[in-house]
Structure 1
Amino acid sequence: MERPKPPLSVLIVEDEPLLAMDVEMMVEDAGHRVMAEAASLYDVEALDPAHSPDIAFVDMQLALDTTGLQVCSLIQKRWSNTIIIFVTANPKKIPDDFSGAHGVIPKPFSRHGFMTALHYLKESVCTPPPITALPGSFVPSEHLSARW
């Protein structure tokens, strides 16, 4: 697998428009590009499969009675190299196997916390191992059960 090079292509799956807009601004402020925003599984299904995101930030509870777990499954099938990060207020609802996702950014988060997590993820995705220490605003999947 060839590692992506910055700027990263980011998919935001969030049903709260203001939060999606905030995340989009932070991603762009960090020098990356948002390839798409989606509020539900159906919105993600409608995206062009030829355009693969490098990272997907996925909320757990989405519009139209869909879930982040469903979106995670679709992303893994469609874009197997995409790094999936759950963004949720209740990390305890994430299954022990993380459904293949790579980590979580717990809500609520600060701008600084999100930006620090995004910087760490960029280093992890593009040039592992990361130089930056693991930020408190990001919990990798292997650390979830120890933290909550």
Structure 2
Amino acid sequence: MERPLTKNIDPDRGPLDLKGYVAAGGYEGARKALTSHQPGDVTELVKNSGLKGRGGAGFSTGMKWSFVPMGSDAPHPKYLVCNADEMEPGTFKDRLLLEGDPHSLIEGMIVSAYAIQADVAYIFLRWGYTHAADLLRKALSEAEEAGYLGK
């Protein structure tokens, strides 16, 4: 059984650095989205994929994106917020992804920000997730240094 969400997570190895993530095909989805598709096309692809949020409601990601006002008359700035606080009762997914595959989270945010034409993106972390925050800072630094972040 393929597990696309956790395919890069190996507790014995720890998270992939940028080089390892790219070697495993990382950032290829973001590259394709940004170079081969318009933002609305990305939203439709995600909508048609059946991807759902990992929160308690399991809401369609593409449907949620389609509610964001688009076009030249849309209000700005637009914000993208990744809620990695794990507020849903009985869940343990956010920290697993943050600590095990932070570049995957970053790549997902790049695609999301492009699809909704966000100006700024934030990651909201639970206060006690210091190890996850450290790993995420390192991954963000690697991604920024490699030119994956920003305009």
Question: TM-score, normalized by length of structure 1?
Answer: 0.29
More strand by share: 1
Largest Rg, 1 or 2 = 2
Higher relative contact order (CA 8 A, sep 6+): 2
Higher helix share: 2
